[in-house]
Amino acid sequence: MISRFVTLALAVLGAVSVSAQEAPTVPPPAAPATVSIVMTTSEGAITLALEKERAPLTTANFLRYVDQKRLDGVTFYRAMKLGAEGGLIQGGPQGEVKRLLPPVKHEPTSQTGLSHVDATISMARFAPGSATADFFITVGPVLSLDANPAGTGDTAGFAAFGHVVEGMDVVKRILAAPTSPTAGVGVMKGQMIAAPVKVLTVRRVK
């Protein structure tokens, strides 16, 4: 009798064990592929999603400036108009040495799969690999800024690394700001905002 009960108990325990092993496990939620930041300007707030997986080097570089508060107090100083409503606005330290960290390696759009569509944030630079903290945001698509390895001229393009999710009305107001007809050098002449727009703070979204 005892032997029969022991056998039965072992069988029940075995069934429970098998059921536990076969029970489906719920995978943990996937980490978001982007990091959200809010850029508060004197014209209002701009919320951006930065591509930490597709453009990891550029995003990490920008977040260093954000986390160290090196972008607090910089300005949007350039408004390049393309057509009736398109173009880009450019901001950053504008060569203010004390704010700058070492340049970041260039991540072309041909590598990241990103493109300079409407509302894209990208790094301003001179030669590829010289970008530090100055950036621009597009209004409308500006696909000529994408990498074009088979083309001519500056085939490396610019390093897109995120997009605006809220606040394009603010971006468009900055683009519409009056510019000086004489300020600026080279292609930037006539594109410098007469009264630069202040960036008050740039913070990660908690």
* CA geometry: angle 110, 87, 70, nearest 5 deg: 75
Distance in angstroms (rounded) separating the CA atoms of residues 36 and 165? 9
Q: Residue 159: what pLDDT?
A: 98
Handedness of CA 114, 70, 130, 127 (dihedral sign): positive
Q: Residue 149: what pLDDT?
A: 77
Q: What is the pTM of this model?
A: 0.84
Q: Output the tens digit of pLDDT for each of the chain's 206 residues.
A: 444 433 433 343 344 343 445 556 766 666 679 999 999 999 999 999 999 999 999 999 999 999 999 999 999 999 999 988 899 999 999 989 999 999 999 999 999 999 999 999 999 999 999 999 999 999 999 999 999 977 766 789 999 999 999 999 999 999 999 999 999 888 889 999 999 999 999 999 98
Q: Residue 23: what pLDDT?
A: 53
Q: Are 121 and 76 in contact (CB under 8 A)?
A: no
Q: Are 47 and 168 in contact (CB under 8 A)?
A: no
What residue ranges do the domains of the chain occupy? 34-204
Q: Which CATH number fits domain 34-204: 3.10.20.740, 2.40.100.10, 3.30.470.20, 3.40.50.620?
A: 2.40.100.10
Handedness of CA 66, 125, 91, 96 (dihedral sign): positive
